[in-house]
Homo-oligomer: A and B are copies of this chain.
Amino acid sequence: MFKHNRKLQYNATPDKPDPLMARRLQESLGGQWGEMTGMLSYLSQGWSSSGDEKYKDLLLDTGTEEIGHVEMISTMVAQLLEGAPIYAEEEAYRSDPALAAVMGGMDPEQAIVHGLTASLNNPNGAAWTTGYTTSSGNLVADMRFNVVRESEARLQVSRLYYMTRDEGVRDMLKFLLARETQHQLQFMEAQEELEDKYGVVVPGDMKDIEYQEYSHVLMNFSDGDGSRQFEGQVAKDGEKFTYQENPEAMGGIPKLKPADEQLHNHQG
């Protein structure tokens, strides 16, 4: 069960409106690697967890924090949109390139659909979907996913940081950068503990079943030989990589049987 505090976790007020930045920030909200992906992945993993409270609680702590990040960015976006020139007439931007850039670069749906407040979409107006989230039941895999979520998100925030000079926006981004550092590090920590317990290859209990003669071979399917440099390096599971210059096709030429006539598979 959840409770909401009207105060934001951190400041989210721009120095002044900027509709182009309002559009760009939607990436951190409704993009593939935005805060909603973190929030619903971690919560779902936590709710589905049947194991150690250490990890379950970590997931629920972080998932809950992320709801507050969605809140902060939504709040920021609405303020960046204040007074956006959606009703500007051609006379106005005929002589004003800065206004022309805004006319061209705004997300028209933030105005038409949302009345100049945040959407839950990405900057190109694509709806966010749970197809971006992951909750597999296997925490080694999912902690790795969580590290990626925080890595891609922090990369995007870093890029966004340089796309504005607004000190208010940057203030919020500096906070988000720090939290994404923490989240990367904590999920790595959990990942490593879980790898120690279950093995470094996910899942750790299929080694005796797989065909091990193919499990440490760099196969050269592209004619560069860059990947040969890994040859002989020791993999994280202690075995060495070998290199296969010309990986062979071992499977024969497949020949499918014609289908039942009632399927009308007219194949020539």
Cβ–Cβ < 8 Å partners of A31 in chain B: 109, 112-113
A47 touches which of B75, B82, B122, B188 (Cβ 8 Å): B75
A226–B64 touching, CB < 8 Å: no
Known: A97-B100, A249-B5, A266-B139. A60 touches B194 (CB 8 A): no
A185–B241 touching, CB < 8 Å: yes
Cβ–Cβ < 8 Å partners of A129 in chain B: 127-131
Known: A1-B249, A78-B256, A225-B57. A203 touches B47 (CB 8 A): no
Q: How many copies does the complex hold?
A: 6
Known: A3-B64, A151-B140. A214 touches B8 (CB 8 A): no
A228-247 CB contact bits vs B (8 Å, 1 = yes)?
01100101110001000001
Separation of A113 and B50 alpha carbons in the complex (Å): 16
Known: A2-B221, A4-B1, A64-B221. A201 touches B213 (CB 8 A): no
A140 touches which of B30, B86, B266 (Cβ 8 Å): B266
Q: Shortest CB–CB separation between residue A71 and chain B, in angstroms?
A: 6
How many chain A residues touch B (CB < 8 A): the figure is 197
A47–B27 touching, CB < 8 Å: no
**Chain B residue with the shortest CB-CB distance to A67:** B2
Other A-B contacts than A6-B60, A87-B262, A120-B135, 15 sampled, CB-CB below 8 A, are A3-B221, A13-B254, A32-B113, A47-B71, A48-B74, A55-B267, A75-B254, A82-B257, A109-B122, A111-B159, A127-B129, A151-B202, A175-B214, A185-B235, A188-B236
Contacts A/B (CB < 8 Å), 25 sampled:
A1-B4, A1-B71, A2-B71, A4-B60, A27-B112, A48-B114, A50-B257, A51-B268, A60-B224, A95-B97, A100-B100, A103-B104, A115-B138, A118-B135, A122-B125, A126-B131, A138-B151, A141-B151, A158-B203, A177-B211, A178-B214, A185-B236, A188-B200, A194-B268, A203-B264
